[in-house]
A and B are shown apart, each in its own frame.
Chain A
Amino acid sequence: MEHHLVLRVVARLLIPLIMLFALYVQFHGDYGPGGGFQAGVIFSTAFILYGLIYGVDKLRDVIHPDVVRSLAAFGLLLYAGVGLAGILSGGEFLNYSVLAIDPVSGQHLGILLIEAGVGITVASTMVILFYAFASP
């Protein structure tokens, strides 16, 4: 990929925009279309694009496969943790209403956290898949 100058320049421009858009989709999911799943997929695209243009070895320097695997588990555990926090606060599993002082802000907090969990797991899993198919 040494000589694909246009690809490299365009990718360098696009990757931050893709990540920013993914974060927008993640945090704007409460107000418009989007949410953790879509944001995770879009966020992983930034890494996959980097891997496609600069090579898997460079991508491994940016984010190591071990880190990605840990993050995939972390996202799921975050989701489950929010559920357990509901039990510990005196509600049911995944009942967010008991997480904060009033039910509505509890719901907001719960949704924010579980969407973050979904986003992290989905993004990491997509990068795991890319690593699995692309690693030499």
Chain B
Amino acid sequence: MTVTVINIILLCLLVITALAINKQRNLFAATMLTGIYSLICASLFVCLDAVDVAFTEAAVGAGIATILFLGTLALTGFEEKTRVKISIPALLLVSITGGLLIYGIQDMPAFGDANTPVQTYLSGKYIDESATEIGVPNLVTSVLASYRGYDTFGETTVIFTAGIGVLMLLGRGRKNRKGLLDEDDA
């Protein structure tokens, strides 16, 4: 009961923050609001007992992402230039897509249903055998690092690739943007 009330409050705050970001024309304020949005998301994840995800959301969403947004704003400017006009076709398209998504939710299993494929396929094996096979108390770590080590390797590669991508686009410094390949005079 208490959790339900907390969830409702958090979800309301989430919607309010999203609307505030949408209304905000000052990009600095909008960036701060996205940080708050991430923090509320992290609180929701804690309510769902997903502390590892909440931790990541708080560190990445509220921490690093905010700083990177601010870094971008320092390059581009703090005020949104164009006034937004309401476009009827876009509004229609968004409403239809949103409606379809909500319609699609009806097919999803109930929250916490034990008989869904997610719960019945491999989770049981992980929960039963992790303690003897891996011997690491945190089940999330044993799944991420060992059972799903290949996926985590892929994720790390993605992060590395993203860093390289940003380096290619911005990393040379603004003095010599033209030559990406002449390494020596960088």
Contact surface of A with B, Cβ cutoff 8 Å = 25, 29-35, 37-38, 41-42, 44-45, 48, 52, 65, 69, 72-73, 75-76, 79-80, 83, 93-94, 96, 103-104, 107-108, 110-111, 114-115, 117-118, 121-122, 124-126, 128-136
Contacts and interface: CB of A to CB of B under 8 A. Distances in A.
A51 to B, nearest CB: 10
A29 B144 CA distance: 11
Given A38-B55, A111-B145, A32 B138 contact: yes
Contacts of B132: 104
B166 A104 contact: no
B160 A41 contact: no
A96 B162 CA distance: 27
Contacts of A79: 153, 156
B94 interface: no
B183 to A, nearest CB: 11
A50 B167 CA distance: 21
Nearest to A33: B51
A33 B166 contact: no
Given A107-B133, A107-B142, A111-B146, 20 more contacts: A33-B51, A33-B54, A37-B56, A38-B55, A44-B64, A48-B64, A72-B163, A76-B156, A80-B153, A83-B149, A110-B145, A118-B156, A125-B160, A126-B64, A130-B67, A131-B171, A132-B169, A133-B71, A134-B71, A134-B74
B10 to A, nearest CB: 19
B20 interface: no
A75 to B, nearest CB: 7
A38 B59 contact: yes
Q: Which 9 A-B pairs have the closest CB atoms?
A: A133-B71, A125-B163, A132-B170, A33-B51, A94-B149, A104-B135, A41-B59, A111-B145, A132-B171
